[in-house]
Chains A and B, each alone.
Chain A
Amino acid sequence: MSALAGFGHFLPAGVLSNETLAAEFHVTPEWIVSVCGIETRRVVAAGETVCDLAERAARACLQDAGIPAEKLGAIIACTGTPHRQFPGVSAEVQKRLNAGGIPAFDLHLASISGLFGLALADRVCEQWGPTLVVAAETMTRVMATEPRVKETAILFGDGAGACLVAPGDAPLAIRDIRIASDATFSDALRLDFGSTLQMDGRTIIMHAVRKLAQAVAELLQKNSLRVDQVSLFLFHQANLRLLERLMKELKIDPSQCFINGDKNGNTSSASWLIAASEAKSAGLLRPGMKVVIAAFGAGLSWGAALIEVV
């Protein structure tokens, strides 16, 4: 049995507004909001790297958990936008935290890697001890590659989120995690070397709604819970219109769903971790609450986790 012992996040200072994107793509800011619900996204500064974001989120997480880096048992870095082929972001985070001598590795799965990282850490921490899961993305750099496509350029932002998974049952017990992949439509969302992001939006939305709804429904059924017994849903903030469709499908009241994608955009693997960190800072994770985390991404891959605040 393991638990979430802390969260942290970091958002770069730069802001990319709908006005700027609207001028570039000859659309209106209102059109952007109508298709994705996003108002602003954060952008890294020149010279700022994905490792810088990861380090800041990792340090914030360790501070929140009250655990020094030398007590870490493993580091899992999650990203679809590493700064180089190898060694990965995990190596740089390990070096900067001065946490040598423990396993450190990357999960290169883009949007879903934060949740897959959590599922892995749930097991890894039993053998190696407190495991840092840090997800960081510089998606706006990917989106800067020509040709820029408005349907994807409006979605993504930069940022990092982290959680510490430790043996035990408190303060946030991990009750269940379910993850899955199906590569039948893997080409529908991909990033080829030297290319910009390729996304077949219709296919992705069809599968995201179905798979996320099924994952959450199965998770709740297996744990004998109803939707109204869940206090908070922390979804991957892919696109707010998608989240609205999902809430309708699952009959989730909007008050149960934490939303920050309107401000941060889609930060890929980091998005639900940033949401969790912000929710904790806002005092939204209170004892007795049941929290569901769910994410979907390239692969195609998806999953859901049940957390209980002890």
Chain B
Amino acid sequence: MPLDEKIREALARVAKAPIPTDRETSLFDTGVIDSFDLVDFVADLEKEFQVKVPDNDLHPSKFESLAKIAMYLNSRGAA
């Protein structure tokens, strides 16, 4: 399954609003996830993609949009 699709599936588990089709749209500004959903979402990403998000990377800017999430997961060697 392509990376974007897997991210969308993980996001759908916590999303409070429709997931934007535009990869660059902020997931925070559109109300898709709030601060507490973000905690669950990052934990879910770690499990789903078998990556560890180190403390130094634990910043919302890395998870703000589908594009940024994909870029980050790629940088962590996620399949």
- On whether A241 and B36 interact (CB within 8 A), knowing A203-B60, A206-B42, A206-B60, the answer reads yes
Instruction: Type the 1/0 row for A228-245, where 1 means its CB is closer than 8 Å to any CB of B.
Output: 000000000000011001
Majority secondary structure, B binding face = helix
Is A202 a contact partner of B56 (Cβ separation < 8 A)?
A: no
Is A205 a contact partner of B58 (Cβ separation < 8 A)?
A: no
- Is there a chain B Cβ closer than 8 Å to A141's Cβ? no
Is B35 a contact partner of A184 (Cβ separation < 8 A)?
A: no
Is B36 a contact partner of A245 (Cβ separation < 8 A)?
A: yes
- Is there a chain B Cβ closer than 8 Å to A71's Cβ? no
Complex-state Cα separation, A182 to B54, whole angstroms? 13
Q: Which residues of B contact A245 (CB under 8 A)?
A: 36, 39
Is B28 a contact partner of A202 (Cβ separation < 8 A)?
A: yes
- Is there a chain A Cβ closer than 8 Å to B47's Cβ? no
A209's partner among B28, B39, B59 (CB-CB below 8 A) is B39
How many positions in chain B have a CB within 8 Å of any CB in the partner chain?
Answer: 11
Instruction: Type the 1/0 row for A277-307, where 1 means its CB is closer than 8 Å to any CB of B.
Output: 0000000000000000000000000000000
B69 to chain A minimum Cβ distance, whole angstroms, is: 14
Is B38 a contact partner of A205 (Cβ separation < 8 A)?
A: yes
Is A206 a contact partner of B56 (Cβ separation < 8 A)?
A: no
Q: Which residues of B contact A200 (CB under 8 A)?
A: 60
- Is there a chain B Cβ closer than 8 Å to A14's Cβ? no
B34 to chain A minimum Cβ distance, whole angstroms, is: 8
Is B59 a contact partner of A203 (Cβ separation < 8 A)?
A: yes
A43 to chain B minimum Cβ distance, whole angstroms, is: 26
Nearest CB in chain B to that of A205: its residue: B35
Nearest CB in chain A to that of B39: its residue: A209
Nearest CB in chain B to that of A208: its residue: B39
Q: Which residues of A contact B56 (CB under 8 A)?
A: 184
Complex-state Cα separation, A205 to B7, whole angstroms? 22
Is B55 a contact partner of A184 (Cβ separation < 8 A)?
A: yes
Q: Which residues of A contact B55 (CB under 8 A)?
A: 182, 184, 207, 210-211
Instruction: Type the 1/0 row for B32-59, where 1 means its CB is closer than 8 Å to any CB of A.
Output: 0001101100100000000000011011
Q: Which residues of B contact A185 (CB under 8 A)?
A: 58-59
Complex-state Cα separation, A15 to B68, whole angstroms? 44
Complex-state Cα separation, A200 to B56, whole angstroms? 16
Instruction: Type the 1/0 row for A135-171, where 1 means its CB is closer than 8 Å to any CB of B.
Output: 0000000000000000000000000000000000000
- On whether A206 and B58 interact (CB within 8 A), knowing A201-B35, A245-B36, the answer reads yes
Is B36 a contact partner of A207 (Cβ separation < 8 A)?
A: no
Is A210 a contact partner of B28 (Cβ separation < 8 A)?
A: no
Q: Which residues of B contact A182 (CB under 8 A)?
A: 55
Complex-state Cα separation, A205 to B60, whole angstroms? 10
Complex-state Cα separation, A160 to B24, whole angstroms? 46
B56 to chain A minimum Cβ distance, whole angstroms, is: 6
B43 to chain A minimum Cβ distance, whole angstroms, is: 8
Complex-state Cα separation, A21 to B58, whole angstroms? 32
Q: Which residues of A contact B60 (CB under 8 A)?
A: 200, 202-203, 206
A sample of 13 cross-chain residue pairs with beta-carbon separation below 8 angstroms, ordered by A number, consists of A184-B55, A185-B59, A202-B35, A202-B38, A205-B35, A205-B38, A205-B39, A206-B38, A206-B59, A207-B55, A210-B58, A211-B55, A241-B36
Would you list the 10 A-B pairs with minimal beta carbon distance, nearest first?
A202-B60, A205-B35, A202-B35, A209-B39, A206-B58, A245-B36, A201-B35, A184-B56, A206-B39, A203-B59
Sample of 5 more A-B contacts, CB < 8 Å, known A202-B60, A209-B39 = A200-B60, A202-B35, A203-B60, A207-B55, A207-B58
Residues of B within 8 A of A (CB): 28, 35-36, 38-39, 42, 55-56, 58-60
